[in-house]
Structure 1
Amino acid sequence: MIVRKKGNYYIFIKQHDHGLLSGELAAQMKQTIQPLAKTLFAISHHDWGWERLDQSPLWNEETNEPYSFDDYPMLPKLEAYTDGIAKVEAHDPYAGFLCSKHYASFFTNIDDPVARKFREQEHNRQNKLRPLFTEGEEANIAANFRLLQFCDDLSLALCLNEPGEQTHPWFENGIQYLGERFRWVWEDQEHLHLAPNLFKQSFVIEIPYQIIDGYRRLIGRETHRFTVIV
């Protein structure tokens, strides 16, 4: 779950909804993506494994705060990662490879034994899948991996900030991609653009969310609706 604190309430955004938004952003890119369908599926479904966990959000009993994706306990998180990658791989091996590469990259410099085992597991998966790809698919792995990471960050920047704001420390200095730094720029609370622009046309995005109070009660379900302008 992606969690924002807002006054006495929490905004919950499901990880898979954030992933689907990542895929929408990728689909609107001006650049050529090859293979298109497989890469978009990977980007859209990279957080598929969180679906089960997000059905029952976990709370930290010591702080009485909900766990977000970044501080979620390691073991169940890695189990969700593994399950999600396997589901994507079952749909398409190339998409599964990209998701495996994405998640393994989280633990490049982490020596935790559980994380190291996960990283090795995913490297083995990648070595098993790689011989299955065409020359064109192989040639585009690096570019499509960078695109997945970039669209993940673009979507997270929208989910972790309040509409009209860009203050979250992860993204306040922009997002690095292809040697440039990109920023979301808000015109108002419903209209924004990416600077520099990478999109082929203006489009509408929606982010469903839940409102939860400090007693862990669901107060309501609403949707942020924005227009990305070019």
Structure 2
Amino acid sequence: MIIRERASEFVMISQHDHAFLSGEIAKYIQKRFFLSEEYIEEVLLAVFEHDRGWISIDEKPLWSESGLAPVSFAEYPHLAKLTAYQKGVDEVEVISLYAALLCSLHYCSFFTKATDDESLHFVKLEKERQSRIRKQLQVNTPVIRQHFRLLQFCDDFSLYICLNEPGIKRDDEHPWFKNGFINSGWLSNGEDIVAEWIDSENVKLSSFPFMKEFQASIDFKTVPKTGIHKWGIKKAFESCSKQKQFIRFCR
């Protein structure tokens, strides 16, 4: 779950809804950045479905031990996250081997500096999966690398939208992407792409890798703090209807 706190409520965005926005962003990437048209549909599938392991988790949000906020995806218990990652890749693999390969690479990138046994075991199993799929598909390594980076960029851009209040000023943005999207220079002139809210509905980029300007949306819930104190986070979350935020991506 992605969490933004306001004075009297929490904005709560499920991981799968965030992934859907990632997929909508990917649909408009210029085709030349895919290198090959053969796997475009499977790349898009990977982007749309990369967080599907969170679906059941986000249906039952947790309250933090501090008692101050719901538990976000960044703070979620480590072992439960690893299980969700593996479950999600398993489910994607049933649909598409290539999409599963990209999702697996994406998750393994989270643990390049990990030293704990659980993370290392997860990476070991995923690398075995990756090796098996590579042998089956025989896809060119540079193409895989490009599609993996595309997934990362779309994930980061969607997170930028979800983590920041619409129309937020640059100085007040979430720290993760203030200096741009890491390793996105391949989509521009070599410099990492920087996003910025123009107003509450429009976002512009320092370099524009898309075919055209476009509009997309993200589903979210606003959960009142009074409801949480009265019923608890799970019931309060369930009682709220989803809303829709529209974003226009501009040059």
TM-score range, shorter chain: over 0.9
Residue 27 (structure 1) aligns with:
27
Shift of 1:220: 4.6
Separation in structure 1 between the aligned mates of residue 156 and residue 102 of structure 2, nearest angstrom: 16
Match of 2:143 among 118, 140, 160: 140
Separation in structure 2 between the aligned mates of residue 134 and residue 78 of structure 1, nearest angstrom: 28
Q: SS at 2:47's partner residue?
A: helix
Residue 152 (structure 1) aligns with:
155
Q: SS at 2:73's partner residue?
A: coil
Residue 135 (structure 2) aligns with:
131
Residue 192 (structure 1) aligns with:
203
Separation in structure 1 between the aligned mates of residue 66 and residue 204 of structure 2, nearest angstrom: 40
Separation in structure 1 between the aligned mates of residue 9 and residue 144 of structure 2, nearest angstrom: 41
Match of 1:169 among 163, 172, 175: 175
What percentage of residue pairs aligned between the two structures are identical? 38
Shift of 1:185: 2.5
- TM-score of the superposed pair, with normalisation by structure 2: 0.86
User: Greater share of helix residues, 1 or 2?
Assistant: 2
Residue 43 (structure 2) aligns with:
39
Higher mean C-alpha deviation, range 62-71 or range 13-22: 62-71
Separation in structure 2 between the aligned mates of residue 227 and residue 17 of structure 1, nearest angstrom: 17
Separation in structure 2 between the aligned mates of residue 182 and residue 111 of structure 1, nearest angstrom: 31
Higher mean C-alpha deviation, range 17-26 or range 214-223: 214-223
Separation in structure 2 between the aligned mates of residue 205 and residue 157 of structure 1, nearest angstrom: 14
**Structure 1 residues without counterparts, runs of 5 or longer:** none
How many residues of Structure 1 are paired with residues of Structure 2 in the alignment?
A: 229
Match of 1:121 among 98, 118, 125: 125
Q: SS at 1:153's partner residue?
A: helix
Shift of 1:135: 4.1
- Cα shift readout 1:122-159 (whole Å, capped 9, x = no counterpart): 111111111111445x4400101111111110110000
Match of 2:78 among 64, 74, 79: 74
Shift of 1:57: 0.7
Shift of 1:78: 0.9
- TM-score of the superposed pair, with normalisation by structure 1: 0.94
Separation in structure 2 between the aligned mates of residue 104 and residue 59 of structure 1, nearest angstrom: 27
**Structure 2 residues without counterparts, runs of 5 or longer:** none
